[in-house]
A and B are shown apart, each in its own frame.
Chain A
Amino acid sequence: MYSFKLTRCVAPSMGAGARLISRGANRSAARPFSSTSSCQIMDTTGFTENQLMVRESVNQVCSNFPNTYWQNLDQTETDPKDFHAALAKDGWLGVALPEEFGGSGLGISEATMMMQTITESGAGMAGAQAIHANIYATQPLAKFGSEVMLKSIPDIVSGNTRVCFGVTEPNAGLNTLSLSTAAKDVGDGYSITGQKIWITCAQVASKMILLARTTPLEEVKKPREGLSLFFIDLDRTKPGLDMRKIKKMGGRAVDANEVFFDNYVIPKSSLIGSEGQGFKIVLHGMNAERCLLAGEALGLGYAALAKAAGYAKERVVFNRPIGMNQGIAHPLADAYMRLEAAKLATYHAARLYDNSKTGAAVSPHAIGVACNSAKYLAAEAAFTACERAVLTHGGMAYAMEYDVERWFRECLVPRIAPVSREMILNFISERVLDLPRSY
């Protein structure tokens, strides 16, 4: 195994056969060993056949989108439309959906591997966020949606329809239950009024999964009641809908927005499940999303670390490669072990989640703890790897063309979203260690 990895790392020196085989220019030119790091450092023993299949196949698609593609989109804040289309064309957006909706019936274990492979390919969080909601948001639709809604799923899978997820609000933040966007029953429909923030891909999406209050906070017994989930059109020609792009630190290719609703009317048929069920339905997908985010973080970390190791081996200062200095090598070795440990936690959580769907007796508590721990550990390991990759590159890290600055900017996302480190620590303190709640 080890020798295999070494040979893979010797990137441009292909065998004689390789020179013969230059398939159409579009494929050969974008083979991963040219511009992106071919050196995949993650240990892949122990993964299932399906996970490895996903890794290899998604890598093939990603190899057509080299680092220069992502650098350019990041600088010009352009949506990776063709990347989204390429994954959709080959059926990847349906990775975790049942076959009747055009999906492939795989689990979160495979979807997590897919997201990791995307970020690890060099696409980073931008690549992951371009499709994240289309994978994750279709889950509640498939499970709780009406017949009409179910019919729209194949369009999402095929990439014809893009979806965004509208939960977060400026005045709610992590306290999701205090969200105040109202959906007022106006007879033949609902009238939406309120504000959402950090809505990824709202500019390019034509549909939104929206969480809003059908009963005001003051009128419910528990804050988790009175919330409903909707599958709505984002029709910019209709009155009452406005959105504003947020200028941000990283992942600039993908838009994040403030979305304003002012008496925006949607039909009654937009309701997913029944009124007041919204929070329960959203909760259903949260643990899965933790796993996906953990995978995305891991990929980012491995990409940065591989790049740093490659640079440390080649960069010569004082007549020796800088990687010969333990001051450079040891932090990278340490980052590697952190990533490997987080990887085990992540795929353990994903496996628990999938097992619970196939009838195995796994308590929701165990799944919650595992998924939150995985997200926490993977985000921290990715941050460590990205930061050290920047430091290893020294001044060159500051240059866009070395990619590590882009990944470093992006690696803060999994630390903050979808739930902060501190809230996970609170969760573990309270639910595992049985300590009193602090807030």
Chain B
Amino acid sequence: MSALRILVPVKRVIDYAVKPRINKAMTGVETVGVKHSMNPFDELSVEESVRIREEKRAPGGVEDIVTISAGPAKAQDVIRTALAMGIDRGIHVELKEGEELEPLTVAKLLKATVEAEKSNFVLLGKQSIDDDAGQTGQMLAGLLGWPQATQASKVEFGEGDSVTVTKEIDGGVETVKAKLPMIVTTDLRLNTPRFAKLPNIMKAKKKKLDKKTLADFGLTSDKKLKILKVTEPPVRQGGGKVEDVGGLVSKLKELGAL
């Protein structure tokens, strides 16, 4: 069984507890002066990668866990969080403030990273809670020609490089099996991420963090999609009141619901 070389991409997003507001220009969500954290689904993949090592779940062992994030200078905060949780080293692909990457660009970036780092297992969040595209993992699998298991709630390793993944699907769970190298995206029931311990937070400051740019990967942040307008959902109108059951039935008939 080959030793695992895990790649865990993470993204810095608006903290999940913050109520998002549309910016004045109506081009997106206001991010200035808003608390940011690691994308919660990425926290799950960070936790899982560290647990695979701690619980010695992979027969071939875990050789390396590396995290990567593409974002402004502040994205280093989430890389440091991942390092404090137990990841070995980080790569920061620095973008200009406000510069956004589309899922395909991210997937290309990750493909290049997988090749450079000789990763054989990529654990990604199933989606990021800012744009909720939910495409990166799948695109990466396509670009690499690797098997993929999405929305994982359980990841088990077996002999002969086999990986069994329990997936959350509508109406139940589905169990799939594939061989390394492969892509797994995480779902909420996979684990409960830990709080980083203080000594580990301090040690994380000294862990290796490579700085790169998109150009180092031969990529640009060209957009294939154009955002026309972002608006708040319409305010819900209050319902009407009916006197009794008869009134309800006739109202429903009037509205064509019966």
Contacts and interface: CB of A to CB of B under 8 A. Distances in A.
Contacts of B40: 17, 21, 23
B35 interface: yes
B17 A91 contact: no
A202 B21 CA distance: 51
A1 B35 CA distance: 10
Interface stretch (B149-157, B174-182, B194-202, B243-251): B194-202
A14 B195 CA distance: 22
A361 interface: no
Given A20-B188, A23-B193, A10 B198 contact: no
B201 A15 contact: no
A192 B51 CA distance: 50
Nearest to A33: B17
Most A-side CB within 10 Å, residue of B17, B188, B197, B201: B17
B195 A24 contact: no
A7 interface: yes
Given A4-B35, A21-B129, A26 B192 contact: yes
Given A23-B188, A90-B197, A14 B202 contact: no
B132 to A, nearest CB: 8
Interface residues of B, number: 23
Interface in B212-227: none
A262 to B, nearest CB: 41
Interface in A96-114: 99, 102-106
A22 B188 CA distance: 8
Q: Is the interface of B mostly helix, strand, loop or mixed?
A: loop
Contact of A7 (B16, B18, B188, B200): B18
Interface string A292-328: 0000000000000000000000000000000000000
Given A17-B129, A20-B188, A4 B33 contact: yes
Nearest to B33: A4
Most A-side CB within 10 Å, residue of B193, B200, B202: B202
Given A4-B34, A4-B35, A14 B16 contact: yes
B199 A91 contact: yes
Contact of B18 (A8, A61, A105): A8
Nearest to B192: A24
A89 B200 CA distance: 12
B17 A14 contact: yes
A411 B188 CA distance: 41
A18 B196 contact: no
Contact of A91 (B35, B132, B197): B197
Contact of B198 (A17, A31, A94): A94
A376 to B, nearest CB: 30
Interface of B: 16-21, 33-35, 40, 129, 132, 188, 192-193, 195-202
23 contacts: A3-B33, A4-B34, A7-B19, A7-B21, A7-B34, A15-B17, A15-B19, A15-B20, A17-B129, A20-B129, A20-B188, A21-B129, A23-B192, A23-B193, A26-B192, A57-B195, A90-B197, A91-B198, A99-B199, A99-B202, A102-B199, A103-B199, A106-B202
